[in-house]
Structure 1
C-alpha cells in the first residue's frame, strides 16, 4: 500500500470542509428564520450569501487541483448543526433563543476557522500559493462573521437573555 502524503491529507480535509460548507448553507436560512432579533437574522442571511461564495471558492480549489468537487461526510459538523437544531427546538419563544443561536453559530465558525487555517498552512507548504490565497480570503470572512456574532452577543443579546430570567 502506498504511503499517504500531505497532499492526500490536504485533499481529505478539503473534502471535509466542502461537505461542511454545503451543510451550513442549508442550515443558515432556518437559523435566520428562528432568530428573534432582526439584526441577528440579517447576520445569518449575510453569512448565507458568503457561504455560497465559500462553496464556489472550494470548487475553484478542486478545479485547480484537477480533482472533482466532492464532499466527505463530516461527523463533526453534523453534530454541531444538530446542537443548533436542538437550540431552536428547545428555546423557541424564549428570550435565550438568540443567545443559543449565536453560540451554535460560533461553534460552526470556530470549526471552519480551524479547518481553513490548517488548509491554508498546508497549501503554503505544498507550494500552492494561489490556493493558499483563496483559503485565506475565506478564513478572513469566517473570522469577521465570528466577530460580528461576538459583537451581537456582547452588545445586547446575552443581556436580553439574562434580563428576561
Structure 2
C-alpha cells in the first residue's frame, strides 16, 4: 500500500472508496427492492438505484477533474453493510417486520454515504476544487433526502410491524 502524504491524495483515495461503495450498491439495491413487501419501499429502492448511477457518474467526473482513475479500491465498510442487509433479506420474518429491517439496513448505508460524501466535500473545499465540491454537494443532498424518505416510510411501516407482532402474539396465546 502506498503512502498518502497530501490532502489531494487522501481525497482521491476516499473518492475511490465511495466509487466502489456506490458500485456495490448498484448490485444490492435491486435485491432489496425485490425483498421489500411495501410498494412505496420497493419504489424507493428502485429510485435510489437510479440516483446511485448518477452518483457514480458524478464520481467519474470528479476523478476526471483530478486526473485519476476511480477504480482500484474495495470499500470494506459497504461490503459489511451490504452483508448485513442480505442477512435481513434472508430472515424469516413477517412482511412488515422484514420491511422495517430493510429500512434499518438502508439507513445504515445512507448514513455511511452521508459521512463519506461530507468528508470528501470538505477536502475538496479546502483544496479549492469548486466543481468537485458542487458535484459532491449534489450527491450529499440526494443522500440526505433519501434518508429523510426512509425515515418517513419507517414511521408507518414500523407501526405496521408492531401491529403484526401483536397479532401473532394473540394467535399464539389462543392456541
Which category of TM-score, normalised to the shorter sequence, fits these structures? over 0.9
**Where does the alignment leave 5 or more consecutive residues of structure 1 unmatched?**
none
Moved over 2 A (4+): 91-95
TM-score, scaled to structure 1: 0.95
SS at match of 1:133: helix
**Where does the alignment leave 5 or more consecutive residues of structure 2 unmatched?**
166-175
Instruction: Please state if 1:48 is matched with 2:86.
Output: no
Aligned length: 164
Q: 1:48-127 maps to which residues of 2 (within 5 A)?
A: 48-91=49-92, 93-127=94-128
Structure ID, larger Rg: 2
Cα offset, 1:125, TM superposition:
0.1
Whole-Å separation in 2 of the counterparts to 1:8 and 1:138? 21
Pair 1:93–1:164, CA change in 2 (3 A) = closer
Deviations 1:97-141 (A, max 9, x none): 000000000000000000000100110000101100100000000
SS at match of 2:83: helix
SS at match of 2:68: coil
Cα offset, 1:68, TM superposition:
1.6
TM-score, scaled to structure 2: 0.90
Cα offset, 1:8, TM superposition:
1.0
- Which residue of the partner structure matches residue 168 of structure 2? none
- Which residue of the partner structure matches residue 161 of structure 1? 161
Cα offset, 1:75, TM superposition:
1.1
